[in-house]
Amino acid sequence: MTEDNSMTQENPFEALTPDFILDAVESRGFYSDGRAIALNSYENRVLQIGIEDTTPLIAKFYRPNRWSKAQILEEHDFCFELVEQELPVVAPMITKGESLFEYNGYYCALFERKGGHAPELDNLDSLFTLGRFLGRIHKVGQAKDYTERPSLTPQAFGHDSIDYIIEHALPDEVRMPYESLARDLMKLVDELWQRAGQQQYIRVHGDCHVGNILWRDDNPHFVDLDDSRMAPAVQDIWMLLSGEREQQQKQLLEIIEGYQEFCDFNVAELQLVECLRTLRMIYHSAWLARRWHDPAFKHAFPYFGSVQYWQEQILDLRMQFAELQEPAITLPMY
């Protein structure tokens, strides 16, 4: 990952006025009807743009200095590989011969608008279908590695995040208990990661939760591969599990049965589920700290940085510490 210098900017998206946004879209040959609706995105700026005499499209303005051009294009190429295999992934549009363009200092991409709703994760048939598509996606993901994009590791998501939080975000009142707990958590994560054995890192979606899956006509459409990276396959599976252990096992069984119709799944990776959940929790707090200069984050997360916020984090991480010491989720068939 490139060094993120956007933390030094007061507002990295300050230039994105309505006129700027519409001018950027029209520079690709589309004529807007003047409507621009901001969609739910914090890391980048994503908007639905009305287009004269046709359906709207989606414009994505990438956060400056987060990804290099090569890293963005690598993700785009993965999307195109998936589309070539007739997988329901919303890939960027090709305009003027390219999927990524630069407009006055911002990298931008345009996408077709796809309708749909979040999948029902308590519907076992839906989970089986999701598993089949994830198996096909991962079969493509195994074909080659990313060379520009980073990998999901305990060091990058856990240790480095804790270091940043301690240096930049923690109030003095909670510094000692948070640091002590977080360091102990990462010792356990490191042990479990090693215990799971050598994992195969493949190209994955990276952020495969219900908000990035649009369900339509009994099939999913996968959107927003912005966090795609090299990771164990289970990274795209664990966020689809919810409820008590017995319920999660039923869900997992359906997903993996569908998955293995197209791609082998290494059951040893189930040892990583709670590790990955822990890393996501810690990384999320560090992400908020790194983005706190952005006014959109202050508006959306007003309690971040308060003593109360960190006290709640400590409580959640203590519960997660207990989860890490429980036996890993398993599949009855194995």
Any idea which residues carry the catalytic annotation?
Answer: 207, 224
Residue 212 marked ligand-binding: yes
Q: How many CB atoms lie within 10 A of CB 37?
A: 11
Are β-strands 57-61 and 45-51 bridged in parallel, bridged antiparallel, or unpaired? antiparallel
Q: How many CB atoms lie within 10 A of CB 191?
A: 12
Residue 104 marked ligand-binding: no
Instruction: Quote the radius of gyration of the chain (alpha carbons, Å).
Output: 21
Whats the size of the chain, residue-wise? 334
Nearest of 147, 10, 140 to residue 68 by alpha carbon: 147
| Separation of alpha carbons 137 and 83, rounded Å | 10
- Residue 102 dihedral angles phi and psi, to the nearest 5°: -110, 130
Per the DSSP assignment, residues forming a β-bridge with 45 are: 61
| Separation of alpha carbons 134 and 82, rounded Å | 11
Feature table: binding site for Mg(2+): 212, 224
Feature table: binding site: 212, 224
